[in-house]
Amino acid sequence: MKMAEKFYALSRRGFLKSTSAAVMAGTLLPHMGLAKQPVGSTNTLKVGLIGCGGRGAGAASQALQADPNVVLTAMGDVFQDRLDESYNALVEMYPDKVKVDKTHRFIGFDAYKKVIDSDVDVVLLATPPAFRPDHMMAAIEAGKHAFCEKPVAIDAPGVRKVLAAAKKAKEKKVSVVSGFCFRYDYPKRALFQKILNGEIGEIKHVYTVRNGEQLWSKPRQAGWTDMEYQLRNWLYYDWLSGDFITEMMVHSLDLMSWALGDKNPISATGTGGRQSRVDAIYGNAYDHFAVEYDYGKGVKGIHFSRQQDGCSTTNRLEVAGTKGNAFIGSGKHEISGKVNWHYSGEKNDMYQTEHDELFASVRNGKPMNDGEVMARSSMLGVLGRMVAYTGQTITWEDALNSNVALSPAIDQYSWDLKWATAPVARPGITKAF
Ligand SMILES: NC(=O)c1ccc[n+]([C@@H]2O[C@H](COP(=O)([O-])OP(=O)(O)OC[C@H]3O[C@@H](n4cnc5c(N)ncnc54)[C@H](O)[C@@H]3O)[C@@H](O)[C@H]2O)c1
């Protein structure tokens, strides 16, 4: 398969939209750690990509289509092959918009700094999530607008760093847009507006379920250190991914939070484990979770998920209110009860809309800030993992104030670093704090 075909799904508009718009000279304004594009400017917006995997290449493609005058000028990754693969795909799709010369293709654990320092306006953060808080903070401190893939953190210290970075973004007047893409989906926006307007009454319960199959893993190659092996298989290491409730199911938890008005729960209780995905190649990740989030006054959010082959699959959200129910699943967005409604309006590509709105905010000088929402939704995943791993009921306050960091400090990473992956958690034995 040709590279461009492989990555074609990354592009809503594909080659047709790949324009020959001139790549203009950069802005003349001095860079002082503040957003440098004057409001209404049509100057070229330069984009840097940090984490050049599948989603990173997708985000770059969407960024390049979001505005008539955007170019990709810097890329960073820890692996040359991953960067090359994405670069080759993107340059084939957008020959006039990918202007990343060899000196701006950075490899290594400090590649993020080099991308950020390379005079870009917008950075796209799409590494495994353990790195996100530090990458985001560095980007915001340098006055860059940031697109931050979900989740934005895998532990409480990371969530607090993201909150601090989001606050700083407001001071610096730069945009922070999250990869919680369902927030950018028109059908979901219409449905949640109705829920939040009270059309199904007061919300009593939200149930989310996402049962899927096992995901990819990469066989160990000769010469790989433990760090390389684990980074290439980052999904299965809690200290890189946060486990799959934090890494993937966080989308469902984000919808749950949205339906409940984006308030913090009081506490959570849960369980989980691994039954199918038991081989050493699956690191210390679980393959199923079930968590109850207690929002007080009898209001609960209940989440259930698994990644096990050979089982039934589903992906649904059900919201029970005092006057009716809301449902998302199988492509449907519906309300039933006192009001009966289903979405029949315009459908959009939510991944593209994220970038359309981000770049519009940069152009019109009205910074967006998804910081608090993306931090809370990520923390729901962290709390879910904590209660499932330990078997304890844990309050939101205790979880958020925890100083337990799962990963090495950002400047400790090296290919020879032997990071002791925790054993597979055992409820009742594993400690949270
Ligand atoms: N919003 C969505 O629907 C969606 C879909 C897929 C993935 N994601 C999220 O996007 C992120 C990336 O996922 P992916 O599927 O692209 O994974 P991936 O493994 O394909 O890509 C990750 C890339 O980051 C690189 N990387 C790892 N550590 C790095 C570091 N310290 N500095 C720079 N680069 C580093 C890897 O080499 C790899 O190229 C994850 O947080 C994932 O949860 C979101």
Q: Is 48 in the pocket of ligand 1 (CB under 6 A)?
A: no
Q: Which residues contact 296 (CB under 8 A, 6 or more apart)?
A: 265, 266
Residue 54 in contact with ligand 1 by CB distance below 6 A: yes
Q: How many CB atoms neighbour CB 18 within 10 A?
A: 19
**For 340-383, what is each residue's pLDDT tens digit?**
999 999 999 999 999 999 999 999 999 999 999 999 999 999 99
Name 176's bridge partners. 146, 369
For residue 266, the CA-to-ligand 1 centroid distance in Å is 31
Amino acid at position 212, single letter: G
Distance CA 69, CA 309 (A): 45
Q: Are 251 and 194 in contact (CB under 8 A)?
A: no
Q: How far is CA 289 from the centre of its chain?
A: 19
Q: Say if ligand 1 is within 6 A of residue 181 CB.
A: yes
How many angstroms separate the alpha carbon of residue 127 from the centre of ligand 1? 4
- Report the pLDDT averaged over residues 213-238: 96
**What percentage of the chain exceeds 90 in pLDDT?**
89
- Kindly indicate the confidence band of residue 36, based on its pLDDT and cuts at 50, 70 and 90: low
Query: Rounded to the nearest whole angstrom, what is the distance from the C-alpha of residue 234 to the centroid of ligand 1?
Result: 9
Exposure of 157 in the CB half-sphere (CA atoms within 13 A): 13
For atom 19 of ligand 1, the residue with the nearest CA is 53
State the pLDDT at residue 37: 65
Number of other CB atoms surrounding residue 366 within 10 Å:
11
Query: Which residue has a Cα nearest atom 3 of ligand 1?
Result: 181
Collapsing DSSP to helix, strand or coil, 318 comes out as: strand
Q: What is the pLDDT of residue 38?
A: 65
Task: Supply 126's token pair.
Answer: 């799409």
Would you say residue 26 has pLDDT above 80? no
Evaluate: CB of 79 within 6 angstroms of ligand 1. yes
Distance between Cα 279 and ligand 1 center (Å): 23
Dihedral (Cα; 57, 59, 64, 69), 10-degree rounding: -130
Residue 433 — very low, low, confident or very high, per pLDDT cuts 50/70/90? very high
Is the distance from CB of 289 to CB of 406 less than 8 angstroms?
no
CA 158, distance to chain mean position in Å, is 14
| Gap from CA of 277 to ligand 1 centroid (Å) | 21
Is the Cβ atom of 125 under 6 angstroms away from ligand 1?
Answer: no
Q: Encode pLDDT of 292-320 as tens digits.
A: 999 999 999 999 999 999 999 999 999 99
For the segment 230-247, the average pLDDT, to the nearest whole number, is: 98
- Segment 211-237 shows an average pLDDT of 96
Q: Is 53 in the pocket of ligand 1 (CB under 6 A)?
A: yes
Residue nearest to atom 25 of ligand 1 (CA): 51
Asked if residue 1 has pLDDT above 80, the reply is: no
Q: In a mutational test of the pocket of ligand 1, which residue from 6, 10, 78, 152 has the highest number of ligand atoms less than 8 Å from its CB?
A: 78
Q: What is the DSSP letter of 37?
A: S
Q: What is the mean pLDDT of residues 43-50?
A: 97
Does ligand 1 have an atom closer than 6 angstroms to the CB of 162? no
289, 129, 183, 97 alpha-carbon torsion, rounded to 10°: -140
CA dihedral 78, 81, 83, 87 (to 10 degrees): 170
Assess whether pLDDT exceeds 90 at residue 6: no
Q: Is the CB of 356 under 6 A from ligand 1?
A: no
Residue 131 Cβ contacting ligand 1 at under 6 Å: yes
Nearest CA to ligand 1 atom 20: 53
Q: Tell whether ligand 1 has an atom less than 6 A from the beta carbon of residue 76.
A: yes
Residue with tokens 């770059």: 60
Question: Which structural domains are found in the chain, ordered by start?
Answer: 3-182+354-370 (3.40.50.720), 186-347+377-412 (3.30.360.10)
Assigned token pair, 379: 């923390």
Scanning 54-185, the segments in alpha helix (DSSP H) are 54-65, 80-93, 111-116, 132-141, 156-172
The answer to whether the CB of 69 falls within 8 A of the CB of 24 is yes
Q: So what's the pLDDT on residue 35?
A: 57
Separation of alpha carbons 329 and 314, rounded Å: 8
Nearest protein CA to atom 7 of ligand 1, as residue: 55
Confidence of residue 14 (pLDDT cuts 50, 70, 90): very low
**CB distance 134 to ligand 1 below 6 Å:** no
C-alpha angle with apex 103: 97 to 106, nearest 5 degrees?
90
Q: In the predicted model, what is the mean pLDDT of the chain? A: 92
| Tens-place pLDDT, residues 63-106 | 999 999 999 999 999 999 999 999 999 999 999 999 999 999 99
pLDDT for res 2: 39
DSSP 98: B
- What is the rounded distance in angstroms from the CA atom of residue 356 to the CA atom of residue 337? 35
Atom of ligand 1 nearest to the CA of 52: 39
Query: pLDDT-derived band of residue 16, with 50, 70 and 90 as boundaries?
Result: very low
Query: For residue 59, what pLDDT band results from cuts at 50, 70 and 90?
Result: very high
Residue 41: predicted pLDDT: 73
**Is residue 71 a contact partner of residue 47, using CB atoms and an 8 Å limit?**
yes
User: Which residue is it, tokens 């469902």?
Assistant: 252
